[in-house]
Chain A
Amino acid sequence: MPLRLEYPGEPGDMHPDGMYLYRGADVPLSRSFITGDILSGLEARDENGTVRECIAIILQHPCSMRIDGVHLAPRILCAEVIPHSMFKPSQWTGNYHFMPLPSLLAGEGGDYAADFDRLLLLTPAQIEGATRIAILSQIGVNLLMQRHAHFLTRVVVPTFQLQEATAPFFEEADLCQEWCEGLIGFPEEWDESEKYKSNLENATSDFNEWIRQKDGSGMMRQKLLMEEQTRSSIRKEMREELRRRIRA
């Protein structure tokens, strides 16, 4: 059977909500930037030099987003996100230069699509200064990667295999978020956002140090996240460590 570009949900039954981890006001500040994050308040320059505001989605692969595993790379590949009518399931198999983003925003007119023909290279300052309006779920990122790889190469890689290859990166992002929220609380609990951001940076550094250390078995925790069988033991260890640090 020929491989086809997939869509969210089961055959004949599309579930766009499954593409998103967070949208709108639910997007947590405590989560590291990663592939599939959608940012607004950016500036794009048209061919005639006109500067206009735009929305973009991060396309860069998670393993090349950071130069030292911590700080964002000097340039991050993104694609512009534009309003677009809802794609029916049959339309997901075509429209190669689009990544549909149905119901990205609440309400009517909330359907968008990322356009792989409109690429942007953003700096860390641009990314960190933008407003993150959505974070794709692993399902959403798998679909994004499948479509982008197909757009560039005309090769269709099944999303379940993209998932297998990239799951550890998203697992680490989840754990980092949990670590930060466990240590410094949720942003809503802070009156001063700058102070929250500063504490968030410190907590993120602490997490990155901890996850790169070896556990009791002599294996680096980050490596153990790569195996399905050992991920839960790292989560358990991290939650115990969080409790220890909170008590201290």
Chain B
Amino acid sequence: MVSKFMGTSLPPTGGQLESGSQSGITQGSSYAKRTDDTGFLRSRVDMLSTDMRNLHHRSANTEWQNLTAEYAKNSVANLLSTIADMGFSWNDIAALCKVSVPALRKWRRGGHATGENRRRLASLIALCDIIRNHYMVEEVASWFETPLPGVPVTPLDMYRADRMDLVIEYASSRMEPERALDEFDPGWRERYTTPFEVIRVDDGSRSIQPKE
């Protein structure tokens, strides 16, 4: 690429190039310095980006913890009602809170839930708040259960695996689905390779057939 620009006035990076009358050595030195400088700047930008990503995660995490503590002051019945009103299924709520469906069913009937379980319910609501308020996701439950493109992995799966960092990154659109999947499950390409496809048939239901 460098040779392409030698002796021309085409700016490779937006800056003005040296004139063609200068010696190749001088030009070489100039490009060497530019390479050093831009490389250094890239490194700094990368470091800054990493620092900001970490700071953003820490900030979101602190906000999440604080909101969780606030919501945890509510009764279990109120917490369940809030989550249900968002449109989550009871099966998903149970999975997200790491309890069985029968246990959750007992809470719905007024059964006792431990403090840890109350905290889990509160933390789900808190995370939904963050996603809705910061990233303009209006239908949070729908967003949580919609698979990433082309694979059966959803933000629910990430939450269930305690990868809140990925949930937030993906919700913020700062992370491409493929990168989120690479971080979540490096073996996803192999895991979801299949000779079949699920298609919609005439009556609207789904069928499975070999890929064409």
Contact = CB atoms under 8 A, between A and B. Distances in A.
Interface in A144-181: 157-158, 160-166, 168, 171, 174, 178
Nearest to B92: A232
A1 B190 contact: yes
Interface string B88-99: 111100000000
B152 A232 contact: no
Give the interface residue-count category, chain B: 20 to 34
Contacts of A3: 194-195
Interface stretch (B17-25, B68-76, B137-145): B137-145
B132 to A, nearest CB: 13
Contact of A232 (B87, B90, B204, B208): B87
Interface in B175-212: 190, 192-198, 204-208
A228 interface: yes
Contacts of B195: 3
B4 interface: no
A229 B146 contact: yes
A157 B196 contact: yes
A247 interface: no
Interface in A39-98: 63
A130 interface: no
A168 B204 CA distance: 11
B48 interface: no
Nearest to A25: B102
Interface in B103-121: 105, 109
Nearest to A160: B152
A160 B208 CA distance: 11
Interface string B21-33: 0000000000000
Contact of A22 (B86, B101, B142): B101
B158 to A, nearest CB: 15
Contacts of A137: 91, 101
B152 A231 contact: no
A161 B194 contact: yes
Given A228-B146, A232-B141, A223 B204 contact: yes
Contacts, number: 86
Given A161-B208, A223-B204, A231 B145 contact: yes
B139 A161 contact: no
A164 B152 contact: yes
A144 to B, nearest CB: 15
Contact of A165 (B101, B141, B145, B208): B208
A24 to B, nearest CB: 9
Contacts of A186: 109
B85 A236 contact: yes
Contacts of B205: 63, 165, 168, 226
A159 B101 CA distance: 21
A171 B147 contact: no
Nearest to B194: A158
A228 B87 CA distance: 12
B86 A236 contact: yes
A8 interface: no
A18 B101 CA distance: 11
Interface in A222-248: 223, 226, 228-233, 235-236, 239
B77 to A, nearest CB: 14
14 contacts: A26-B105, A161-B197, A164-B152, A165-B207, A174-B91, A226-B206, A228-B146, A228-B154, A230-B142, A232-B88, A235-B84, A236-B85, A236-B87, A236-B141
Interface of A: 1, 3, 17, 21-22, 26, 28, 63, 137-138, 157-158, 160-166, 168, 171, 174, 178, 186, 223, 226, 228-233, 235-236, 239
Interface of B: 84-91, 100-102, 105, 109, 139, 141-142, 145-147, 152, 154, 190, 192-198, 204-208
- 4 tightest CB-CB pairs across the interface, nearest first? A232-B87, A232-B141, A26-B102, A236-B87
